[in-house]
Amino acid sequence: MTAQTFDCRNAWADAMAEAARADERVVVVVNDSVGSSKLNAFVDEFPERSINVGIAEQNMVGVAAGLANGGKIPFVSAAGCFLSARAMEQIKADVAYSEHNVKLVAQSPGVAYGDLGPTHHSIEDFAWMRTIPGLTVVAPVDPVETAQVIAWAAGHEGPAYIRVSRMAVPAVYPEGYQFVPGKAVTLREGTAAAIIATGTTVARALAAADLLAADGVEVRVLAMPTIKPLDEAAVVAAAAETGGVVTVEEALVTGLGGAVAEVLAEQHPAPLRRIGFRDEFAITGTAEWLLDRVGASPEGIAATVRELA
């Protein structure tokens, strides 16, 4: 029986409406992406708090910085590929350097746009965004965590970059789960190796653990929703208490994988394998096929773990 799957954009839209009802300072700024951001109902309910700048991503982030400077809590919602690349200077200077309370919500990140190809993939964003001082970087796993992250962001004073995927994902967390920024979540215990995954790849990591368990190989599975600040203690413990670490991400391996590699190199050298995209542009194809192609299928993850276990 196939597990039920969900579009996290629905959870994001519902959470945004809840945040706006709770705090009149909450506003959204979009780049002609109301429909793809699933914000139609929000715009209908809060027309005076919905700002559509058109296809002008740099201006969009600048407008949000101005709103934050005026005491608002702006959520910028745009396709991850355009938000992370086209508006990088504004994110760096107008948001992070200026310490403005702007929430950058990257819609359909990674390879979620699939057949639209390399121009619409945003596999570089983890690597880029984690280098910007003061910017929290988060990739929720499922609808429950997506709603939790948006609620946290609305109350958090400071800039954040949040991925919201359009890929269908199964539920990982029960209702009542509480997101804690900067903390990994242990989803499965094991000592043969540790899989550290984030965002849409967490469910794949759990499926890989099931395959390995069928062969008597028990692995630890950590969900790492916060790429920055990274839960360094959890990474070091995973390296110290298991046979090695495998990272999995819907991004270049210099994102989560790079962050984990830095921690291990400095604090606890250990065997490491990184699954994700490497020195290439993600080509055209369905998101699922593209992830499978780089070894992020359950079978591919399990095979990489076997190199260490």
| C-alpha–C-alpha distance, residues 75 and 64, integer Å | 8
Active-site residue among 45, 48, 57, 299?
Answer: 57
CB 230 within 8 A of CB 264: no
Burial pattern 231-268, b for ≥16 Cβ within 10 A else e, equals: bbebbbbbbeebbbbbbbbbbbbbbbbbbbbebbeeee
277, containing H or E segment: strand 272-277
CA 279-103-176 angle, to 5 degrees, is: 95
272, containing H or E segment: strand 272-277
Q: At a CB cut-off of 8 Å and minimum separation 6, what does 55 contact?
A: 31, 32
> Among this protein's residues, is 18 annotated catalytic?
no
Residues recognised as catalytic: 57
